[in-house]
Amino acid sequence: TRGAGPRGLRPPAAPRPVLWAAVAPLRPGTAFSEVSLGWSAIRRNETSPASRHKTLGYLDAVLAAEAAAQDGHDEAVFLNTAGRVACAGIGTLFAVSGREVATPPLDEGVLAGIVRARVLALAPGLRLGAAERPLTPEDLAQADAVFLTNSLRLVAPVRRIGDRDYASAGHPAVLALREALSREIAQACGMAVES
């Protein structure tokens, strides 16, 4: 946080930030697990600097996740104020069409996630096209597969968005990216790479 200061919204002249950190064990089965997504009625403000930073301002994501859960989904998909796909409440979305994986560019209200960047970097080596371009809800509806990325779930196949089902978990592009990312993580951690 920006630390203690006088009342009001302006930061103090000499801020003394406070840093918090928490550690918890990763729940088994979190990485690479399938997710179901519902459409959020809340819009992501792509013009806000806060949309490009991970902050403690999670109220929109909390409310959207609760609404999605009431409809039987794990998480929510946010559109931006222009009606294009921004992200999920817990990560970045990718649409797979043919041999291309596409994700919204950062100026659509997307966080510059670590796993997002790794997927974009790994895709060409797997003979997959990697594109950052605006996506519409229709683009997701017409996609062969959809997956979500974040640092805990890594590459999470999407099994449903709203009432549209996907066979993302078995899609060759999703499987190839999962394997390549797993290999990269194992090597970075000095672990034996499983074949």
78-135 pLDDT, tens digit each:
999 999 999 999 999 999 999 999 999 999 999 999 999 999 999 999 999 999 999 9
pLDDT on residue 12: 82
Q: What is the pLDDT of residue 54?
A: 76
Nearest to 122 by CA among 44, 185, 76: 185
pLDDT digits (tens, 9 = 90+) for 129-175: 999 999 999 999 999 999 999 999 999 999 999 999 999 999 999 99
| Closest by CA position to 118, among listed 157, 153, 77, 150 | 150
Task: Answer whether residue 154 is part of any domain.
Answer: yes
Predicted pLDDT of residue 7: 83
Q: Kindly state the helix (H) or strand (E) to which residue 177 belongs, with its residue range.
A: helix 172-188
| Res 135: pLDDT | 98
Given a contact cutoff of 8 angstroms between Cβ atoms, the answer to whether 173 and 167 are in contact is no
pLDDT of residue 58: 81
Residue 88 lies in a domain: yes
The Cα–Cα gap between 25 and 127 comes to 35
Residue 9 lies in a domain: no
Query: Does residue 86 lie in a domain region?
Result: yes
If one compares 140 and 48, the residue with the highest pLDDT of the two is: 140
Average pLDDT of span 171-184 = 96
Size (the chain), residues: 195
Helices and strands of the chain, counted as H and E runs: 4, 9
Is residue 3 included in any domain, yes or no?
no
DSSP-based three-state secondary structure for 108: helix
* Domain assignment of residue 62, given as a range: 35-188
Residue 178: per-residue pLDDT: 96
Beta strands in 8-58 (DSSP E): 35-44
Give the pLDDT confidence score for residue 194 in this predicted structure.
Answer: 63
Q: What is the CATH number of the domain that holds 146?
A: 3.20.10.10
Residue with tokens 């840093």: 19
Is 5 part of any domain?
A: no
Taking a C-beta distance cutoff of 8 angstroms, is the pair 51, 60 a contact?
A: no
Does residue 95 fall inside a structural domain? yes
C-alpha 170: how far from its chain's center? 19
Higher pLDDT, 11 or 76: 76
Quick one: pLDDT at residue 195?
A: 54
| Per-residue pLDDT at 48 | 86
Give pLDDT, residue 39: 97
The Cα–Cα gap between 140 and 136 comes to 7
Closest CA to 173 of 164, 165, 181: 181
**Residues 54-75: pLDDT tens digits?**
777 788 999 999 999 999 999 9
Q: DSSP per residue over 60-84, as a string?
A: HHHHHHHHHHHTT-SEEEEEETTSS
- For residue 53, the model assigns a pLDDT of 74
Let me know: does 68 contact 62? Beta carbons within 8 Å: no
Q: Is residue 23 part of a domain?
A: no
Quickly state the pLDDT bin for 47 (edges 50, 70, 90).
confident
Q: Do residues 30 and 151 make contact, with C-beta atoms less than 8 angstroms apart?
A: no
Domain count of the fold of the chain:
1
Q: Dihedral (C-alpha) 174, 193, 117, 114: value to the nearest 10 degrees? A: 110
